[in-house]
Amino acid sequence: MSKKLIELKNISKSFGSTQVLDELDLYIRENEFVTLLGPSGCGKTTILRIIGGFETPDAGRVYFDGADITQVPPNKRQLNTVFQKYSLFSHMTIAENIAFGLRIKKRSNEYIKEKIRYALDLVNLPGFEDRMPDSLSGGQQQRIAIARAIVNEPKVLLLDEPLGALDLKLRQEMQYELIRLKNELGITFIYVTHDQEEALTMSDTVVVMNQGYIQQIGTPESIYNEPINAFVADFIGESNIIDGIMLKDRLVQIGGLDFECVDEGFGENEPVDVVIRPEDVELGPPEGGHTTGTVTSVIFKGVHYEIQVESTIGINFMVQTTQHFPVGSFVGINVIPDNFQIMHKPQSEDEEIMNKDDYPPAQAYES
């Protein structure tokens, strides 16, 4: 298991009267691709800026490889940042852009020339040395921004929504490029996004945030398959979140129907949230289902149809299937109880926002 490279301990940060982070704890391992994921305003970019040295926490400490770097300026930290806007110098050639940081460090011309060649090969843009930034596409500019960062040989690369300005096809291509670069370079990537697909595609570890608190930390698979609360279930992919009653261990009731499930430890007759992923709902003939319903909406998504079904037990199901069922069809609805994710209902509005004591980062990593 890789060692801890970055640790944030009891980090708090406010802007004016707005508390953005409150006693947040997080650690990141060496050579890990970590994505900070959450809606706008959740604090993910503030964490990135604190790690990068562009913001100073009001309280708490930042450690890098065991050393306290809380007050160390950005240019003295062993990391580089790639921003969404790329920030290439428009009056400089590509070679001059890439060499900028190396010239500040007074590296030799021969060393710089070799590093430029190496970086351009790494981002699959050999021969672009004499081009100007405005002659490049958005995807090419993004690659140059990454090349400029990696020639400085940082231990950590910080990426603040760097693909947000690209179209869908370019964004998908760059996701694979970033995975390749991370594997080839062997450095730590810390990536900020609100795009769930990006997080699930690229990450070793996903940190889901909401309103300044960490909600859940884990692999993409564990975050998707075992969300810890309704916020995570709803934010990561599509979900049917249904009111249920845990009658007893391994028996849950939804819409008046009882289902044997794999969950236990909830007590008896306890109200719960039941998460059913759209791909775990199957449609077919009316006589073959757990219940029946009427198709109210059909959207073609390319690889599947997204279908809304109003069931006779009062639940509206979202279904993802490769089969086409026209609007108005009367269908049978089957669910897969073994794939239910059952969660305690929050007892208050405050409880909907988890704090670090409810789900410590160490627990997520070690489990």
Rounded CA-CA distance 351/36 in Å is 22
Average pLDDT over residues 302-330: 97
Q: What's the pLDDT tens digit per position in 181-220?
A: 888 888 999 999 999 989 999 999 999 999 999 999 999 9
Q: Tell me, what's the pLDDT at 347?
A: 64
Average pLDDT over residues 297-325: 97
In the predicted model, is pLDDT for residue 331 greater than 90? Answer: yes
Q: What's the pLDDT tens digit per position in 126-184?
A: 999 999 999 998 888 888 988 998 898 899 999 998 887 778 887 888 888 889 888 88
In the predicted model, is pLDDT for residue 359 greater than 50? Answer: no
Cα dihedral across residues 91, 96, 100, 105: positive or negative: negative
CB proximity list for 95: less than 8 A, separation 6 or greater: 116, 129, 130
Q: What's the pLDDT tens digit per position in 41-70?
A: 999 999 999 999 999 999 999 999 999 999
Q: Which among 106, 108, 126 has a CA at the least distance from the CA of 116?
A: 126
Element at 295 (helix H, strand E): strand 291-300
- The fourth-level CATH superfamily of domain 230-345 is Nucleic acid-binding proteins (2.40.50.140)
Q: Which among 207, 291, 295, 172 has a CA at the least distance from the CA of 28?
A: 207
Q: Tell me, what's the pLDDT at 1?
A: 63
Match 């405005």 to its residue by tokens.
134
Q: Tell me, what's the pLDDT at 363?
A: 37
Supply the angle between the helices 138-150 and 94-104 in degrees, to the nearest 10.
Answer: 20
Q: How many CB atoms lie within 10 A of CB 254?
A: 24
Rounded CA-CA distance 84/71 in Å is 25
Which runs of consecutive H residues, i.e. helices, occur in 38-158? 44-52, 94-104, 109-122, 138-150
Q: What's the pLDDT tens digit per position in 235-290?
A: 998 899 999 999 999 999 999 999 999 999 998 999 999 999 999 999 999 998 99
Q: What are phi and psi of 114, to 5 degrees?
A: -65, -40
Angle at 266 between CA 263 and CA 267, to 5 degrees: 125
In the predicted model, is pLDDT for residue 72 greater than 90? Answer: yes
The larger pLDDT score, comparing residue 317 to residue 347, is at 317
- As a dihedral over the C-alpha atoms of residue 119, residue 74, residue 39, residue 175, rounded to 10 degrees, the angle is 10
Q: Tell me, what's the pLDDT at 184?
A: 87
In the predicted model, is pLDDT for residue 85 greater than 80? Answer: no
Taking the domains of the chain in order of start, what are their residue ranges?
A: 4-228+358-366, 230-345
Q: Tell me, what's the pLDDT at 353?
A: 52
- CATH class for the region spanning 4-228+358-366: alpha beta
Q: Which among 304, 46, 309 has a CA at the least distance from the CA of 160?
A: 46
In the structure, what pLDDT confidence band is assigned to residue 355 with cuts at 50, 70 and 90?
very low
Q: Tell me, what's the pLDDT at 115?
A: 93
Q: Tell me, what's the pLDDT at 201?
A: 92
The larger pLDDT score, comparing residue 331 to residue 101, is at 331
